[in-house]
Structure 1
């Protein structure tokens, strides 16, 4: 709870700093505030269940872990913002403030214990993102991204809200534990509208995490939005979405698994094939990462399809590995795009010669995305597949392994461009201190977690 208060107050402080034209202090204050919030969040670990607002929110270890991850990744993204926002807008405070409000919504999504709070958190996060996607008012791509995201987001929110209403109508409660009691009580005959509500909720949540067949907004929004905003959406927002997804299914709907597992299994398979096969044909790095994000949504759905005691741990490890690789990839993309004026994969040609450090960092990120051993991505996939195998989803794991092999092609396409193709020019890509810190930290953590994953395997 303390971390949520700190982030909300921090957003207002940043807004006032912008009002008084203290531009140079925005990024340091934002990062220091996030580190303070992170400290408060970690301090709540193993403090027991802390329900607040009459039990509408619950800060247990699950909420603490995913909140801390969201805060930490946001801090890394803010460190990459030095010099970036200044180039696209004069109103810097608004970027930080709206991102912090979106982060506050994400924290509500990972700690809700009431469907009303899920909706409130989701809307705080989503409305902030609608603004951030279209914040470059004179850029047609940004305007298109905001419009598409707003229209499809509002449409999916309608599905989710209607689903919540039907579940309330059947069970008479918004509380997750009380819904679970309604579902598990052998004396209850579950109302058919409850199943309809559950189906509508699946549609709404699947849209928010960018899984097929509700993924159509993802490539255009990722491409049109400012790159740092895209990095935030593909990491923090996706982590919060999956944490919210897992919490309600693990708490309330576990006894109805025979109903929803076939639905989510179909969505998972479709997501894997759509994401990976479409990524094969992408010639622009940003769209490649967008379709890669769709495929990773498919892998993370494993934790829900194979719901069990290990699901929380598996999805946390995978989310951490994916977020670290994404931050590094988007960080390198910003530098290359600024230097070359394009995000085409050809822009990375010869990067190993013009900046070996950037090439190394991006190579490790691509290998982690692909799930190559000795990277965090491999550990994430290993635990996801182990979770699925423990629930006898053998054929699903076989499909996932096939897709992982397909994905290697487009990830290695970037590596080949950096090391085996000649650069158009010989100008060095310069890297600022903050970028070196973030990329170096992402690089080290990705390798360390790949070699020594034991520190995370027994969190929950």
Structure 2
């Protein structure tokens, strides 16, 4: 039955209206340079969070292609958190670097609209449209420093490879539609449940093409090539936004498509995803060890974390599915906070993103050094942080599903990754102050508030994870 209710799109409408309000406010900002344009975005995001809570357990749908089930709403709240933290970290950066305030915040919000749409999409064409909405906004954000050659290069590479992956994804949609006669995920699932690979081998071609499209967005090996350059060239806060929001939205759609519509053929695609997960964890960790630039190191760290999330997808049991959602929340807050530190310590003409720049940071900015340490320990999966709980449940899901080899690879790469995280900690605490870091006269109060809030969430999820895990379990129960 065709459902014309708009309830399911209320969260993304709140964000879209905020983006339009920011764009309109920019026209009047010439009369008031101190207009809190970013505040309008936070108001819209708050509306999205409230509407998501009100929609919980209602399984609202709009036109059959947007489904506000608990799974989509959980990811929406994660994206709202990412959006609020991004705006708070961006406030001093936009002012310091002279970025176009209205355009910057509007692009962040429009990207979030695409992310929320992607997380709640029940149709492959809607997933593609959402993917393009968020991608176009992020391409521009990557190169928003037009006078920085690295940013321009990063945006150009990201755009070219992104267009390439979109073609694969769209071709996969065409194959899927040709086989099933629909782009709706629920109808595709019903069709595939009555098919076998021997009767219709083109199904594997369609799955492969869709997998390439998703693998690019989550930076899975071997589709990760764009990640280090794009992350290093973009402003640090934009890099944090890309590495968390885009990954969360892509994984939400990836999980919904492969564990819902394509679940009847999981025995065929699971070995491929197993290989992707193993290669992604290994390459992200090994290459990350050799990095001397903090943003590039965190880029390879982000690649490895994508591999850990793929472990949950391969496991495909109830623990694994819930672990994906919990891990997305823990990773999003932690990684965005780490990039937030880089953004706050940067200067207009010097990103201060080399490892040597953080030598002796404890002596000049002890509070920032302590907060950065918590972020790095959480990324390394050490207790009592959110990262430890996330990795514990992901690896437990793999063991429960019988994927012992994948769990062992995950644990070993996680142990190795601790080396390059602790290397930064040692440089901050165990060495004298380095001459290279031009520490700002003061760190923004708004930025520090965002950092402290992030650390509180990291410790809360690490010490008292029950509520978040229960919500994650309730979320996956609505679609799987």
TM-score with structure 1 setting the length = 0.96
Q: How does 1:143-182 map to 2 (within 5 A)?
A: 143-182=152-191
- Aligned match of 2:6: none
Task: Report if the CA contact (8 A) 1:89-1:136 is conserved.
Answer: no
Taking a change above 3 Å as real, the CA distance of residues 257 and 17 of structure 1, as seen in their structure-2 partners, is same
Moved more, 425-434 or 36-45: 425-434
Distance 1:439 1:85 in 2: 17
> For residue 46 of structure 2, what is the aligned residue in structure 1?
35
Cα shift readout 1:306-341 (whole Å, capped 9, x = no counterpart):
112233321111111111111221111122222975
The answer to whether residue 93 in structure 2 is matched with residue 97 in structure 1 is: no
Name the CA distance, whole Å, in 1 between partners of 2:312 and 2:201. Answer: 26
The partner residue of 1:452 within 460, 464, 471 is 464
Task: Note the 1:191-210 alignment, pairs <5 A.
Answer: 191-210=200-219
Matches within 5 A, 1:148-297: 148-185=157-194, 190-297=199-306
Query: Equivalent residue of 1:205, what SS?
Result: helix
* Partner Cα distance (2:150, 2:141) in 1: 13
Alignment check: 8 A CA contact 1:254 1:307 kept: no
* Equivalenced residues, count: 458
CA distance in 2 between partners of 1:199 and 1:343 (Å): 37
Give secondary structure in 1 for the equivalent of 2:36: helix
Consecutive unaligned residues of structure 2, counting only runs of 5 or more, are 1-8, 475-480
Q: Aligned pair 1:337/2:330, yes or no?
A: no
SS at match of 1:135: coil
Tell me the residue number matched to 2:4.
none
Question: Is residue 2:123 matched to residue 1:123?
Answer: no
Structure 1 SS opposite 2:278: helix
Structure 1 residue corresponding to 2:432, chosen from 404, 418, 422: 422
> Is the 2:320–2:398 contact (alpha carbons within 8 Å) kept by the matching residues of 1?
no
Residues of 1 paired with 2:308 and 2:320: CA distance? 12
How does 1:52-71 map onto structure 2 within 5 Å? 52-53=62-63, 55-71=64-80
Structure 1 equivalent of residue 399 of structure 2: 389
CA distance in 1, matches of 2:313, 2:224: 18
Residue 174 of structure 1: how far off its partner (Å): 0.7
Question: Quick one: which of 67, 74, 78 aligns to 2:87?
Answer: 78
Whether 2:121 is the aligned partner of 1:112: answer yes
The CA distance in 2 between the partners of 1:106 and 1:360, in whole Å, is: 32
Moved over 4 A (4+): 186-190, 425-429
- Which residue of the other structure, out of 410, 413, 430, is the alignment partner of 2:420? 410
Select 2:11's aligned residue among 3, 8, 20: 3
Give yes or no for contact 2:231–2:295 (8 Å, CA) kept in 1. yes
SS at match of 2:469: coil
**What's the secondary structure of 2:57's corresponding residue?**
coil
Matches within 5 A, 1:313-328: 313-328=322-337
TM-score by length of 2: 0.92
Query: Quick one: which of 4, 12, 31 aligns to 2:20?
Result: 12
Cα 1:127/1:186, change in 2 over 3 Å: closer
Residue aligned with 1:83, SS: helix
Contact 1:145 1:221 survives alignment (8 Å): yes
Q: Kindly tell me: are residues 174 and 120 of structure 1, through their superposed partners in 2, closer, same or farther at Cα, counting changes over 3 Å? A: same
Distance 1:188 1:140, change over 3 A: closer
Unpaired runs of 5+ in structure 1?
none
Cα deviations across residues 214-262 of structure 1 (Å, max 9, x unaligned)?
A: 0000000001111111111011111001111001111111111111011
**CA–CA separation in structure 2 for the residues paired with 1:314 and 1:18:** 41
Query: More deviation in 20-29 or 257-266?
Result: 20-29
What is the match of residue 435 of structure 1?
447
SS, match of residue 265 in structure 1: helix
Question: Aligned equivalents of 1:427 and 1:243: distance in 2?
Answer: 40
CA deviations 1:359-385 (Å, max 9, x no partner) are 111111100000001110000001101
Q: Is the 8 A contact 2:359 2:428 kept in 1?
A: yes
Name the CA shift for 1:207/1:187 in 2 (closer, same or farther; >3 Å).
closer
**How far did residue 392 of structure 1 move?**
0.4
SS in 2 for 1:301: helix
Counterpart of 2:82 in 1: which secondary structure?
Answer: helix
Q: Tell me how far apart the structure 2 counterparts of residues 15 and 178 of structure 1 sit (CA, whole Å).
A: 39
Q: What is residue 370 of structure 1 aligned with on the other side?
A: 380
- Match among 288, 309, 313 for residue 318 of structure 2: 309
Give 3-state SS (helix, strand or coil) of 1:250's partner.
Answer: helix
